[in-house]
């Protein structure tokens, strides 16, 4: 029944068609305006060497893959027509190298990217979806902080973000990209994520800004000094990666995502490579000197071992006596941890222990096998280190390795002394395979130090202390530090030709690919603080 309307009435059909077309055009006009945003505000962003939120998303995601959520969200009631759509944050999903990624990008053009209730709800939604689908989350931060007009509601919004950061920790990769200010409580969210990217001269992250510091302490500091990218890269260790421009930064975010699995239940992606896993590494014979005190760059060793020499080093400007980063061997992602002989002889100190421990736990959370390259003289001695808690911080690295259930391979290149040998993923704490180069030295300490402790009085009382010391040092080396001492006791699985190191690691990784570890049932461990 048509209730009196002639279904073939051309007038009625035309009127309905016009109405639908008008609605469509109105919607398209609104959508275009929302997507375009304030052109003057965009120009101000560009003047500061900053991209707009949408430009950043376009660089991050595969072309045409972005599916936006909540484009029309804004503050209510509707009698506030000046309230812009999106709520100052753009949220949604897309792909990176064809794999799903969720993203939110704070839009500084709208109220300085300040977080209010709507803004927070949009972030909460996209975080919940990332967790539920087991997909990585990328946060593009550019915000002046909480919107004052929202008061405690804004603070509660941050609390919701933090709680989700913790819930997602170790479940999905979380990447924070700081592309503007990130101040006050907002800074805690990046600190809870797995990786932090920053850009020089435009990224700032601190709890209290220069004005507050000046008022409270009287100190005159700039934003750059207080929370700039280089400060966090070299001094605080908060920044994982630092770049000169946003485009390069976002390109490396894509590279990192290609190395990571989507979640903790899956393995990292593998790729076919032309670099043969059986390739001989002839250059290693020249890179690493036989003399245990001569320096060399561990990054040169890594470049020889990994596919195509590509190595994404994390925190490269902080705690430089240890090198950590992601690479591929035989097309599969691996985490590399190595002592760095060109920086304090590769000694472990407070910061190096923290850096390596954090990296080991990140790799373990996301099923990334660990390769540990050992050339360590020990822990750094000294009053400052002891008072600073070197025991507590060194225990973090020990705990991280002991807790790790991924395949773990140790390679001792030259020396491994004392507690630092144990901590650097030794056989005694559970590594799956331990290899050593000929000429390795594994001992409680170096020969000179050992002789001083054991024979100090005898040397002082001798007629020729220098000659006796030399004799005792040589005796200690031959009896306690010869290359086969640990292998004879089953603490090293094999002595290998340095040129075969890549091939040995690749074969062992294939062997360990099906590793399944039994984990004691418990609520959680209590790692050193």
311-350 pLDDT per residue, tens: 999 999 999 999 999 999 999 999 999 999 999 999 999 9
Cα 380 from Cα 400, distance rounded (Å): 20
CA–CA distance, 155 with 116 (Å, rounded to integer): 8
Residue showing tokens 């709208």 = 110
Alpha carbon of 139 to those of 123, 195, 271, 453: distances in Å? 9, 11, 27, 54
Residue 182: phi, psi to the nearest 5?
A: -145, 90
Region 169-195 average pLDDT: 95
pLDDT at 119 over 60: yes
What is the DSSP code (8-state) at residue 203?
A: -
Q: Give the start-to-end residue ranges of the domains of the chain.
A: 39-259, 284-446+481-511
Per-residue pLDDT of 413-427, as tens digits, reads 999 998 999 999 999
- Provide the 10 A C-beta neighbour count for residue 49: 13
Contact 240, 197 (CB under 8 A): yes
Query: Which runs of consecutive H residues, i.e. helices, occur in 37-100?
Result: 39-47, 53-60
Q: Which segments of 98-227 does DSSP mark as H helices, in order?
A: 117-133, 152-168, 188-191, 210-217, 223-227
Mean pLDDT for the stretch of residues 476-496:
83
User: Does pLDDT of 218 surpass 50?
Assistant: yes
- Looking at the chain, the whole-number percentage of residues with pLDDT higher than 70 is 95
Residue 495 burial by CB count (10 A; 0-12/13-18/19+): exposed, middle or buried?
Answer: middle
Farthest CA pair distance, the chain: 126
Interval 199-208: pLDDT, tens: 999 999 999 8
User: Residue 93's beta-bridge partner residues?
Assistant: 67, 102
**pTM higher than the cut 0.85:** yes
- Residue 282, Cβ density class (10 Å: 0-12 exposed, 13-18 middle, ≥19 buried): exposed
Active centre residues (catalytic): 184-185, 419-420
Distance CA(260)–CA(267), nearest Å, equals 8
Q: Which residue has the tokens 């040998």?
A: 421
Fold of the domain spanning 39-259:
2-enoyl-CoA Hydratase; Chain A, domain 1 (3.90.226)
Helix axes 501-511, 298-305, angle to 10 degrees: 60
Residue 153 and residue 527: Cα distance in Å, rounded?
A: 34
| Range from 58-67, 177-186, 514-523 that averages highest in pLDDT | 58-67
Inform me whether the pLDDT recorded for 11 exceeds 50.
Answer: no
39-259 and 284-446+481-511 share one fold: yes
Lowest mean pLDDT among 186-190, 303-307, 484-488: 484-488
CATH class of the region 284-446+481-511: alpha beta
Report the pLDDT value the prediction gives residue 16, as an integer from 0 to 100. 54
DSSP codes of every residue in 449-463:
HHHHHHHHHHHHHSS
Coil vs helix vs strand at 487: helix
Instruction: Give the CB-side neighbour count of residue 327, counting CA atoms within 13 A.
Output: 25
Alpha-helix runs per DSSP H in 233-297:
246-259, 284-287
First to last CA, the chain: 76
Rounded to whole angstroms, the Cα distance separating 77 from 397 reads: 53
Q: What angle do CA 447, 453, 454 make, to 5 degrees?
A: 85
Asked if residues 519 and 479 have their Cβ atoms less than 8 Å apart, the reply is no
Coil, strand or helix at 505: helix
- Render the burial of 416-449: b for 16+ CB within 10 Å, e for the rest: bbbbbbebbbbbebebbbbbbbebbbbbebbbeb
């Amino acid at each position: 029944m048509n209730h009196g309307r002639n279904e073939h009435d051309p007038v009625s059909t035309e009127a309905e068609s016009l109405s639908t077309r008008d609605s469509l055009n109105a919607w398209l006009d609104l959508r275009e305006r929302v997507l375009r945003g304030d052109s003057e505000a965009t120009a101000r962003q560009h003047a500061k060497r900053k991209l707009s939120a949408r430009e950043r998303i376009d660089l991050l995601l595969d072309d045409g893959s972005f599916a936006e959520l909540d484009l029309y969200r804004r503050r209510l009631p509707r009698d506030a027509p000046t309230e812009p759509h999106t709520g100052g944050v753009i949220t949604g999903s897309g792909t990176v190298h064809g794999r799903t990624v969720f993203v939110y990008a704070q839009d500084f053009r709208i109220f300085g990217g300040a977080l209010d209730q709507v803004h927070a709800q949009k972030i909460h939604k996209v975080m919940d979806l990332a967790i539920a689908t087991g997909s990585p989350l990328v946060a593009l931060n550019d915000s002046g902080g909480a919107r004052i007009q929202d008061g405690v509601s804004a603070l509660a919004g941050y609390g919701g973000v933090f709680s989700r950061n913790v819930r997602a920790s170790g479940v999905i990769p979380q990447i924070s990209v700081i592309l503007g200010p990130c101040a006050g409580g907002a800074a805690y969210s990046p600190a809870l994520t797995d990786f932090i990217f920053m850009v020089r001269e435009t990224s700032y992250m601190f709890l209290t800004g220069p004005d507050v510091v000046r008022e409270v302490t009287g100190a005159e500091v700039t934003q750059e000094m207080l929370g700039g990218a280089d400060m966090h890269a070299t001094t605080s260790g908060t920044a994982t990666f630092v770049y000169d421009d946003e485009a390069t930064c976002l390109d490396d975010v894509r590279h990192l995502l290609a190395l990571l699995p989507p979640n903790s239940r899956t393995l990292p992606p593998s790729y076919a490579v032309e670099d043969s896993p059986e390739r001989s590494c002839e250059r290693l014979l020249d890179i690493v000197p036989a003399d245990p005190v001569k320096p060399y760059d561990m990054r040169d060793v890594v470049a020889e071992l990994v596919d195509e020499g590509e190595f994404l080093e994390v925190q490269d400007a902080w705690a430089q006596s240890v090198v950590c980063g992601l690479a591929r061997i035989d097309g599969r992602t691996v985490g590399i941890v190595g002592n760095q002989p060109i920086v304090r002889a590769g000694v472990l100190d407070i910061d190096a222990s923290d850096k390596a421990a954090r990296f080991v736990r990140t790799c373990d959370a996301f099923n990334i096998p660990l390769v540990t390259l050992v050339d360590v003289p020990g822990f750094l001695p000294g009053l400052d280190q002891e008072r600073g808690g070197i025991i507590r911080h060194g225990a973090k690295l020990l705990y991280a390795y002991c807790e790790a259930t991924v395949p773990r391979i140790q390679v001792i290149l030259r020396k491994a002394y004392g507690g630092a040998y144990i901590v650097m993923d030794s056989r005694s704490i559970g590594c799956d395979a331990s290899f050593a180069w000929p000429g390795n030295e594994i001992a409680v300490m170096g020969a000179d130090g050992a002789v001083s402790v054991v024979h100090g009085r005898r040397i002082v009382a001798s007629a020729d202390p220098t000659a006796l010391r030399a004799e005792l040092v040589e005796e200690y080396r031959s009896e306690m530090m010869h290359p086969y001492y640990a292998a004879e006791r089953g603490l090293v699985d094999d002595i290998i030709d340095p040129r075969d190191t890549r091939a040995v690691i690749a074969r062992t990784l294939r062997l360990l690919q099906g590793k399944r570890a039994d984990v004691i049932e418990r609520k959680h461990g209590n790692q050193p603080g």
